[in-house]
Chains A and B, each alone.
Chain A
Amino acid sequence: MKESLNLHFPVDGEDFTSAGQASVQVKKTLRQIGLHPEIIRRVSVAMYEGEINMVIHAGGGEADVHVYEDRIEIILTDHGPGIANIDQAMQEGFSTAPDKIRSLGFGAGMGLPNMKRNSDSLRIESTLGVGTTIYMTINL
């Protein structure tokens, strides 16, 4: 296996204010290593939406980013309630976010569709009552 640059972040589910910090750090790192701006934008948006989802729905989790020569892999893991119906969750506009979250400007039901749109592959593994892991790949 080729060497990769590995980044790891815990995502605090209690503090909505700090949500997004991991994505900002990843963006800064990718900029430092000189990746194409369009790649940086796609990784940033995909990861940020995933990070916010973990805080809104799952009580936080862990974010791992692996930068290889030919691709970037993002793995988001949580121990939240799981996703009951993944196909439904992928529909634009469908959201299970509580009202308080909508008042903060989220919960429009665009998160998973945004993640899919900005990644080259998106895989969701989820078990109700156990948690969810999201795997995204962006090719370089």
Chain B
Amino acid sequence: MKIATIKELLDAEVVCGNEYIDREMNSAFGSDMMSDVLAYANNQAVLITGLVNPQVIRTAEMLDMLCIVFVRGKTPTAEVVALAKESGMILLRSEKKMYEACGRLYEAGLGRNGDCV
């Protein structure tokens, strides 16, 4: 699924990294616990989270997760955005809550070939 499609499905806005909008993503992981992301997420999955501290970017970096969607209308700080840009990531922001965001992407087929977590 292209990130452009994820953006549409979640009525999201691009916070930074619009040049990566056509990247193809194959799975996703929704969580506010970074240790769980490290334990369970697939490499290169979309990260869906309501946490906006710099550790989110570092956690995502460890697993080559280059697309992060902040849900619940959370806005990353300038510091977080700067870190994301350094790592070549695209950050999206959606007003939707975690449950609905994950549901919409799952329903549309993201990660449903067995890679979904």
User: Residues of A at under 8 Å CB distance from B?
Assistant: 16-17, 19-21, 23-24, 27, 37, 41, 44-45, 48-49, 52, 104-111, 113-114, 117
Contacts and interface: CB of A to CB of B under 8 A. Distances in A.
Interface of B: 32-36, 38-39, 43, 49, 51, 53-56, 58-59, 61-64, 79
Nearest to B80: A17
A105 B64 contact: no
Given A17-B54, A19-B55, A110 B38 contact: yes
A114 B62 contact: no
A24 B63 contact: no
Name the prevailing secondary structure of the A interface residues.
helix
A41 B42 CA distance: 11
Contact of B55 (A27, A104, A108): A104
B52 to A, nearest CB: 10
Nearest to B86: A24
Contacts, number: 70
Which of B36, B39, B54, B79 has the most chain A CB within a 10 Å cutoff? B39
Which of B36, B38, B59 has the most chain A CB within a 10 Å cutoff? B38
Contacts of B53: 17, 104-105
Contacts of B64: 37, 41
A104 B64 CA distance: 21
Contacts of B43: 37, 41
Given A21-B58, A104-B55, 8 more contacts: A17-B54, A19-B55, A20-B55, A20-B58, A48-B62, A106-B55, A108-B36, A114-B38
Nearest to B87: A24
Contacts of A23: 58, 62
Contact of B62 (A41, A104, A110, A111): A41
A110 B34 CA distance: 9
A110 to B, nearest CB: 4
A96 to B, nearest CB: 14
Contacts of B33: 105-106, 108, 110
A105 B38 contact: no
B55 A111 contact: no
Nearest to A102: B33
A93 to B, nearest CB: 10
26 contacts: A16-B55, A17-B79, A20-B58, A20-B61, A20-B62, A23-B58, A24-B61, A24-B62, A27-B62, A41-B63, A41-B64, A45-B38, A45-B62, A45-B63, A49-B35, A105-B35, A105-B53, A105-B55, A105-B56, A106-B35, A107-B35, A108-B33, A108-B36, A110-B33, A111-B35, A114-B39
